[in-house]
Amino acid sequence: NAGVMQNPRHLVRRRGQEARLRCSPMKGHSHVYWYRQLPEEGLKFMVYLQKENIIDESGMPKERFSAEFPKEGPSILRIQQVVRGDSAAYFCASSPNGVPYSNQPQHFGDGTRLSIL
């Protein structure tokens, strides 16, 4: 029973390039959340998705960042024209199907550590 899978584990990009981070939720989970963790800080919510739907993107920067969770395949967090300040660990979490507000626990992947040169 594989956990939340994220790839790549480490990603290096030069300023101005694009970064694509992938997340496959646990089997049977259809809710995906992305969080960002700056060095020595806590996790900050970015976006919550269900299959083919963005439910809450209140934590996403208005520009350069986008997320999707297609019917088939992993969830993708995309950062265009990266800047040094985008360097962080990006974690994906998933939770089971269920009634909204059912307080299902979220399980995290190993994260993608993004470094911008």
Partner 1 sequence: GENVEQHPSTLSVQEGDSAVIKCTYSDSASNYFPWYKQELGKRPQLIIDIRSNVGEKKDQRIAVTLNKTAKHFSLHITETQPEDSAVYFCAARSPFGNEKLTFGTGTRLTIIP
Question: Which stretches of the chain bind partner 1, using CB under 8 A?
Answer: 31, 33, 35, 41-45, 48, 55-56, 58-59, 91, 93, 95, 100-101, 103, 105-111
Of 80 and 97, nearer to partner 1 (C-beta) is 97
Nearest CA to 54 out of 76, 37, 24, 21 is that of: 76
Tell the smallest beta-carbon distance from residue 16 to partner 1 (Å). 27
Q: What would the two tokens of residue 113 be?
A: 């550590």
| Cα–Cα distance, 2 to 50 (Å, whole number) | 19
Closest to partner 1 by CB, 6 vs 82, is 6
Quote the least distance from Cβ 28 to partner 1, whole Å: 16
Instruction: Give all strands of the β-sheet with 19-24 in edge-to-edge order.
Output: 5-7, 19-24, 75-79, 65-68
Residue found under tokens 């950062």: 79
Smallest distance, partner 1 to C-beta of residue 81, A: 26
Closer residue to partner 1 in complex, CB, 20/113: 113
Question: Least Å distance between CB 114 and partner 1?
Answer: 14
Dmax of the chain from CA atoms?
A: 43
